[in-house]
Amino acid sequence: MADSVAGDPGRELMVLLERSGQRVSREGYRGCPQINVATECSDPDHPPRRICARHKAVMYERLKALVSRI
């Protein structure tokens, strides 16, 4: 995150949500890449599916850590 939000977890969360909103509202946005891969690769042991699951877990932990500082 930008230096202007360093040390302010509430503002950091708002910036994260704002950027996510901007990304998903872009023209031509085709959805979350991880959800798209999960849809295409239904086998949970398929390598791309495992990568997506790991990414989701990392993002969850990051968000949980951020929210715990608020």
> What pLDDT, in 10s, does the model give residues 25-62?
999 999 998 889 988 998 999 999 999 999 999 999 99
> What's the total number of domains in the chain?
1
Burial class (CB in 10 A: 0-12, 13-18, 19+), 52: buried
Q: DSSP code of 26?
A: S
Q: Rounded to two decimals, what is the model's pTM? A: 0.75
In which domain, by residue range, is 22 found?
3-68
Q: Mean of the pLDDT values across residues 14-26?
A: 95
